[in-house]
Chains A and B, each alone.
Chain A
Amino acid sequence: MRYVEEFRDPAMARALIARIGATAEAIGASPGRPVRIMEICGGHTHAIFRFGLDRLLHGGIEFIHGPGCPVCVLPMRRVDEAIAIAGRPGVIFTTFGDAMRVPGSRTSLMQARAAGADIRMVYSPLDALDLARRFPERDVVFFGIGFETTAPASALAIRQAAREGLGNFSVFCNHITVPPPIRALLEDPDMRLDGFVGPGHVSMVIGIRPYDFIPGEFGKPIVVSGFEPLDLLQAVLMVLTQVREGRAEVENQYARVVPEHGNPASLAAMAEVFEPRPSFAWRGLGEIDRSGLRIRARYRDFDAEERFGIGYAAGALPEEAAEGCACGAVMTGRIRPVACPRYGRGCTPETPLGALMVSSEGACAAYWHYAGARGPAEDGGRRAVRGGGRGGRHGPA
C-alpha cells in the first residue's frame, strides 16, 4: 500500500539502526545507563513490538511506554457508567470494538451484552448516527473515547445530529487530551526520561506547537513520529541526535501528515462542541487537571451524561484500582509489564485484569503478543522496580 510499504524498506531500516547504534555509542549510552525514550502513543508501542524494534536497537536505548492508549487509561468507573447507560430501557449503546473487553469494577461491556444489553460495535460515530436515523424510537448512545485523534469525529457527529435534529442521539464523552498527562509525568520527580517520541495522529489534529513546553520548561526533546518502522527509527535517531548535540526542541518527523499548526477544521469542530473539564480521572494516573473534554452547554441535548444523569453530571468520581495490579507503575514507566505480579498470573488478554492487557495498543498486551517468548529473565531484569503505582492529583487543584 502506498505510504506504507516505502516506509518499511529493510535496507533503509538497517542503515538507520546502524546510525542509531553509532549515535548511542557517541553519547555513552549502555544497557546499564540507557537513554530513556518515552513513546507516548499506544500505536507506537504496538508498532515497536510488532516490528521488534526494541530488540533491533542498540542496548543503550530503552523505550518507556507512555499513557497514550485511550482504552488503557479509561477509569473503571467510566466503564461501569457506560454499562449502566447501556442497561437503560430503549438504549442502543454503540462503541468501538477496542472498549468491549475493558474491565469495569464488575463486568465489561462484552459481558453486559451477553447478559442482554443492546451493545453494538461500530467502526465510526457515523455508524451510530445511522442507527439513530434508522431507529427513531430508540436512544442511540455513542461511547466517545480517544484522544484528539478521535475527538473531532465525535464533535462532527454531534454537530451533524444537531443539524438533522436527531434528538435520540447522544455521546457519552470520555475524550481526553495528550499534553496534560505529559506535563504530569514530567512533573513527577521520579520520572527519568531523556526524550519523547510524539504521537503522530494526535499531532495531525493539534499540530506540534502544543508540545513547546516540553523543551521550553523541562528541557527535553520531542520528535513527532509516523507509525511505520522507518518513521519510528528516524524519530529515535532525531531524539538521540538532539541529546548528542545538547539540544531540546520540538521536531516533526511526520511532516507528510502533520502540519505545524494541525488541522483547522478539526480544531474548530472540537472547540465548538467541547470544552475542557476541570479535571478527569485516568486509570493508573489519577485525576489530571484539564485533561478531559466535555460537551458544551450549547450541545447539552447530545450529552449522555446529562441525559441519563450519570458520571460527572452526578458528582465527583472516586479513584479505584484493581486488586494487586501494577498498571499505574507500568504506565508511568516505573516497571516493565513482565514485572507486574499479575502478568500472566491472572492477567492475560483473554481475561484481562488491567486495561493495559486489553487493547493491542496497551503495553501489557503488546508484550504478551509479541514479546511473551522473551520472558521475565531476559526483560524484567533490565529495569529496577522503583515503587508502585501512583494516585492523587496532579497540578494545581
Chain B
Amino acid sequence: MKFEARVEVTHLPGVLDPQGATVARALPALGYRNVSEIRIGKSIRLIIDATDEAAARAQVEEMCERLLANPVIEAYEIEIGG
C-alpha cells in the first residue's frame, strides 16, 4: 500500500534559529506586533510503499534518525496519510 508521509523537522528547544529570529524582527516591521515564538523548520513529503501504516511510520522514523534530521540539533514529527 502507498502512504503519504509528511515529516516536519524543527530546531530543538534552545537551539538557535537565526531564520526564525530574523522573521520575528521583520513581521513587527509590517505591523504584526502580536507575533512571537517564530520557529522555521523544514517540511518533507514522501510517498512510501509499505504493508501497513505502522510499517510505513517505522521506516520513516528510521529515515529521520539516519538522514532527514540531525538529532543533535533537530526534532521531527511524522504524519502518515493514505
Do these two chains really belong together in a complex?
Answer: no
Using CB atoms and an 8 Å cutoff, list the residues of chain B in contact with chain A.
none
Using CB atoms and an 8 Å cutoff, list the residues of chain A in contact with chain B.
none
